[in-house]
């Protein structure tokens, strides 16, 4: 179990200690339930009352926070408590994983595969022919890496990840359990008799640096060429990326999103849960896609926000929703007008 003093933590997050700099912690805790020996943080003002009740030994807070009363915990003041706590968690996780090295048995590593220094291969992993693995790579149980795969440095493959042949992964990548990289794209050509002929998927998947992919996500290999996930992309659990898709730098995609084949996303895009895009579309940089929206045509306007199905500019979609809610009332008024017009018409005829 790792243990750190307030002074050590302050150095990690570039903060300033208020209180006992020698006090130590060995675990993380939520501010509302933390106990002695744990470190917590306060970023959301809604939780400030817990600051004066918590038993945590160390608390990271914003440097701008003015205390309403004295507290017993040691404080570490930083410009952004949430970002500092995230940094601390990242460093803690890295220190824990550094202790994992070596190759457990039983596992299979092909004679032609090469592994960089400080690697870890858990029991029941499979590494195929001509695989190249970089330094400080962690490969957990039941991971399967197909032939000719290239993996960079500081990559973590959690249990059950499968990487098909010929795929290329960069540096500092995390792939969570059950994710499949490089499975066949959904390509079938219709025949005259109504049956379908499979179109061979001969491409691969390229994942650039600093990408994180959630559990049970699938990224299909290209028919020809590459499906490309560019640097800094973050994919949630249960995301489906079809063949020949390109996802731009620093794009974030929430759970249950589906992208059809050959769709190209720009950089800095945000897609809400259960949204999706039809195939062969382009989505401009910085677009925000609301949850459960369906994109059916190219979006050229950068930094726009779209909502609904089919997805439309946010304010337009909201106006349409208002009109939709008013439809029953409009229908009633229309029927009343029809009756009135009929009555006036009949009076005119009798006159």
pLDDT value, residue 181 = 98
What is the model's pLDDT at position 193? Answer: 96
CATH 3.40.1390.10 segments of the chain:
4-98
Length of the chain: 351
The pLDDT of residue 351 is 65
Query: Are 176 and 155 in contact, with CB atoms under 8 Å apart?
Result: no
Provide φ and ψ at 203, rounded to 5°.
-85, -155
Mean pLDDT (10-residue bins), the chain, 351 residues: 88 95 94 95 94 95 94 95 93 78 95 96 98 97 98 97 98 98 96 96 98 98 98 98 98 98 98 97 97 95 92 73 77 86 80 65
Distance (Å, whole) CA 227 – CA 213: 15
* CB-CB contact of 310 with 293 (8 Å): no
User: What was the pLDDT predicted at 1?
Assistant: 56
Other CB atoms within a 10 A radius of the CB of residue 63 amount to 13
Three-state SS for 106-147 is: CCEECCCCEECCCCEECCCCEECCCCEECCCCEECCCCEECC
H/E segment holding residue 253: strand 252-253
Full DSSP string of 176-235: -TT-EEEEPP--EEEPTTS-EEEPP---EEEE-SS-EE-TT-EEEPPSSSEEEE-TT-EE
CA nearest to 59, candidates 262, 78, 46? 78
The yes-or-no answer on residue 323 being catalytic is no
Where in the chain are all domains bearing CATH 2.160.10.10?
161-310
Tell me the whole-structure pTM to 2 decimals.
0.81
Distances (CA, A) of 99 to 96, 124, 335: 6, 20, 76
CATH number of 161-310: 2.160.10.10
Alpha helices in the chain (DSSP H): 6-13, 48-51, 81-98, 314-350
Compute how many other C-beta atoms are within 10 angstroms of the C-beta atom of residue 169. 25
Catalytic residue among 158, 243, 280, 314, which?
A: 243
List Cβ neighbours of 184 (8 Å cut-off, separation of 6 or more): 201, 220, 221, 243
Right CATH for 4-98 from 3.30.360.10, 1.20.1070.10, 3.30.110.40, 3.40.1390.10: 3.40.1390.10
């Amino acid at each position: 179990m790792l243990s750190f003093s307030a002074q050590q933590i302050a150095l990690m997050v570039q903060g300033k200690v208020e209180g006992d700099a020698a006090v130590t912690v060995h675990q993380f805790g939520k501010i509302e339930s933390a106990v002695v020996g744990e470190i917590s943080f306060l970023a959301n003002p809604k939780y400030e009352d817990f600051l004066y009740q918590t038993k945590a030994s160390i608390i990271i807070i914003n440097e701008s926070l003015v205390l309403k009363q004295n507290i017993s915990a040691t404080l570490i003041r930083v410009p952004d408590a949430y970002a500092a706590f995230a940094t601390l968690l990242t460093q803690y996780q890295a220190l824990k994983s550094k202790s994992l090295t070596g190759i457990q048995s039983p596992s299979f590593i092909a004679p032609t595969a090469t592994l960089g220094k400080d690697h870890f291969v858990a029991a029941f992993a499979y590494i195929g022919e001509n695989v190249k693995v970089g330094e400080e790579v962690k490969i957990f149980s039941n991971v399967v890496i197909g032939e000719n795969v290239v993996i960079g440095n500081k990559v973590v493959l959690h249990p059950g990840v499968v990487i098909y042949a010929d795929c290329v992964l960069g540096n500092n990548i995390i792939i969570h359990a059950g994710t499949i990289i490089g499975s066949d794209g959904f390509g079938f050509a219709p025949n005259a008799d109504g049956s379908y002929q499979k179109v061979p998927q001969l491409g691969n998947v390229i994942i650039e640096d600093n990408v994180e992919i959630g559990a049970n996500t699938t990224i299909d290999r290209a028919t020809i060429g590459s499906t490309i996930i560019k640097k800094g992309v973050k994919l949630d659990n249960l995301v489906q990326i079809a063949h020949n898709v390109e996802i731009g730098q620093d794009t974030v995609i929430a759970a249950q999103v589906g992208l059809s084949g050959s769709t190209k996303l720009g950089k800095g895009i945000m897609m809400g849960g259960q949204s999706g895009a039809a195939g062969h579309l382009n989505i401009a940089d910085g677009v925000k896609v609301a949850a459960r929206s369906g994109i059916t045509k190219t979006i050229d306007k950068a930094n726009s926000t779209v909502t609904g199905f089919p997805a439309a500019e946010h304010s337009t979609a909201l106006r349409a929703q208002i009109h939709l809610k008013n439809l029953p009332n409009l229908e009633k008024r229309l029927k009343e007008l029809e009756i009135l017009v009929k009555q006036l018409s009949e009076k005119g005829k009798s006159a």
